[in-house]
Structure 1
Amino acid sequence: MKYVSRKPALILLADGTIFHGKSVGGREGTAFGEVCFNTGMTGYQEIFTDPSYFGQLMVTTNAHIGNYGTQEEEVESEGVKIAGLICRNFSYHYSRAAADDSLEGFLETNNLLAISDVDTRALVSYIRDHGAMNAVISTRVDEVSELKKELAKTPDMNGLELASKVSAKEPYFFGNEKATYKVAALDLGIKKNILRNLAKRDCYIKVFPYNTSFEELQAFQPDGYFISNGPGDPEPLSGAISVAKKIIATGAPLFGICLGHQVIALAHGIGTYKMHHGHRGINHPVVNLLTGKGEITSQNHGFAINREEAEAHPDIEITHLHLNDKTAAGIRVKNKPVFSVQYHPEASPGPHDARYLFDTFLDNIKQTQTVEAH
C-alpha cells in the first residue's frame, strides 16, 4: 500500500475563523476562493469540472471522497473548475472497475490543491450560520498573518463577472449536423451534459462565446436559442442581458438554465441577489406550479432572482418554486416561447426528474415552426 504523507494544512475564512486538516498527497500550496458546500452523495468529478463552480473552494459533505476513482467520460468541461477541495476522508484507493484513474491522480493532473481530515460537519454548519464567504486553503500553516493579508485582496463574489473565464474562446459545434433542429447556445459556462441532452433530441448546436452579439447568433439561423449556466454574479453580464432582450423581442424559442435563467430575468428588469449560502446538491425539492408535481433536482447557485419582482411583472409567470425556502426556481414569459429554470435539468450528477424541460424547449420550437408555416 502506498505511503501517504500527512502534511498539515488549514482553512482560513474571511472572518478569521480557522479549520485544520491535512493536504491530500502531501502537496504544498495555497488556493483562494469563495467557500461553499455541496450535499451530493456522489458525482464529485462532475462537480469539480462544472464551470459554474469556477473560483470556489468546494466542501463536500459526503464523508468519503475518491472511493470510486474518476472516469474520463464523467467530466462537464475541459479540466477542473473549482479553486480547491475540502473534504473529510479522502480515498487514495478506488474500487470501481470502470475507473481509469484515482481521484488523487486526477487532481494532480489538474494541479488542484485538496485538503482532507477536516471537520466538514463543523465547517458546513458554520457556513450555514454565517454565510458563504471568501477563504484560503494552504499548507503555510505558520503564516496566518500573511495569508489574512492575501485573502483580503481576493475579490468578493458579489459583483464579480466570471463567465469570461470559462466561456469558449471561439464558436464550436456539437451534435449531428444533419439533425432536424438547430440551436444557438450562448456559453456562459456550459456543461457538456446540456449539449448531450439537446443532441439526443435531434438538435445540432452551435456554441458561442459569452460576448457574442445577437446578430452573430442569428446568422446561424437557429430554430431556438439557449443561454447556459455559469459562475459569478449575473448583473455585470450586460452583453448577455442585451442579447436575451433581442432574442425575446423576436418571439423565437428561448431556454435558460441557472445563470441563463437569471439573465432572462434581468432582461425583464427583475433583479437578482446574492444568497446567504446558496443551493448546491442533488436532492433539492421543487414544485412545478403548472402541473402540481414535485421534482427532486440538482442545484448549484449562489444567486437568485427576486421573487416579488417576478410576481409583480405583467409579462412573467413563476412556474417553479424551491420548496425549502420558496425562492423562484422557474419562470416563463407569457404569450412567448421563453422559459428558464434556476436548477439543472441535465443533472450530471443528480436525478432525471426535470429532463422533460428539454422536451418542452423542443415542443416550443416545433410549435413556433408550425405557426410560421401557416
Structure 2
Amino acid sequence: MRTQVVIVGSGPSGLLLGQLLTNAGIDNIIIDRVDRDYILGRIRAGVLEVGMVGMMDKAKAGERMHKEGLIHEGFSLSFDGVQHRIDLQGLTGTSVMVYGQTEVTRDLMDKRIETGGLTIYNAGNVTPHDFDTDHPYVTYEKDGVTHRIDADFIAGCDGFHGTCRASVQDKGVKNFEKVYPFGWLGVLADVPPVDHELIYAHHERGFALCSQRSLVRSRYYVQVPLTDKAEEWSDDAFWDELRRRIPADKAEALKTGPSIEKSIAPLRSFVAEPLRFGRMFLAGDAGHIVPPTGAKGLNLAASDIHYLFSGLQEFYGEKRMAALNDYSRRALSRIWKAERFSWSMTMLMHTFEAEGEFGVRMQQSEFAYLTGSKAAQLSMAENYVGLPY
C-alpha cells in the first residue's frame, strides 16, 4: 500500500491533520491500534482556544461545534474563598469555547467518513521504519497478516505511550519531565454547572475545578494524593469534598447527582526535543504533555498540526522543505510557552506540602499581585485564550 502521508494515531491531532490534508488533496492514511468506540469513550478536556476553533473551521468540521459549544468570556480564580474573575473578553478582545474533546474527535471522525478518508483500526504492532531516509514506511498486523504502508512522511500522533516516540529513544531525543505529587479526581455528572464559567479554586485542603461540558453536564475535579483510587471515593464523599474547597455561595448552589464517569488523572509536564526525525514528525501528546490546569493539551496539539500541515502543504505545492525543516523549532517555541503557563497555574492553585509555609506565602503573594495588577491579569488572559500561531 502507498500513500503520501501515513498518520499513526486517530486522536484529535491525527484526525485534524488527516482532514486538512484530505481537504488539500494530499493523500493520507490514518492507522490506530484501537477502534473508534474505544477512542470516543475517552473523557478529555473541553476548553478550546480561538486557534483551535479556527483549525476546526479550516478542517470544515466546525459546524456542530459552533451550534453546541459554549462561549466563555472569562473564568474565576478562588483563593481560600476569595474569588476574582479574569475578564478574557475585556482584556484580550476574545474568548474561549467549552466543547468536549470527545465531541471534537467525533466531528473529525464523521468528516473523515464523509470525505472518504481511510482509517485502519485495530492495527497491531504498528512500527515506523526508515524514517531517517527518503523512503519511510509503517508496518502493522491485522487478522494475522503483516501489512506495509509506504509513504513520503510519517506523522506520529499516537500519544505519550505511542510507538513513534518510542522508536526514536536512541535517535538523540531529549526528554524533559516534571511529575507532580498528586492527581485530579474527576467526576462527570448530568447536573447543571454551578456557574456559567469555570472556577479554579485554591484551598488548604487542595485544588478544585468546576468545569462543564454543556448546560446540563458538569465536570468537576479535586486534587488527591497519587495513592488514592477512584473506586474508593463514593459520590457523596466527592461532593462533600468539592463543597469544602469552592466559595461558600457556590457550595450552597451546587447541584449534585450520580457520577457517570469517575477517574484519577496524574499530572505531569513533559517535552521531547526535537520533534522531527528525518521524515517522521511527532505531534500532540506524542511530543509533549501539560498538566491540565491551563487547558492547553488539546490546544497545543492543534498548533502542532498547524505548523506540520503548513510544511506538508508547502512541500506538495511548492516542492520546498523549508517549513518542514523548521517544524520542530516553531512548534517547540509555542509548546514551551504553554508549558510555562500550565506550570505556573499549577504551582499557584495547588497545595504542595513539601513547599511548607514559605510556599504558601508565595502563593498568597502571587494571587494578591494578580488581583491587583491589570498587567498580570492581561498576561494570564492572553495565555489562557491562546498565544498566536
Task: State the structure with bigger RCO (CA 8 A, min sep 6), 1 or 2.
Answer: 2
User: What TM-score, normalized by structure 2, do the two folds share?
Assistant: 0.22
Question: Which protein has the bigger helix share?
Answer: 2
User: What TM-score, normalized by structure 1, do the two folds share?
Assistant: 0.23
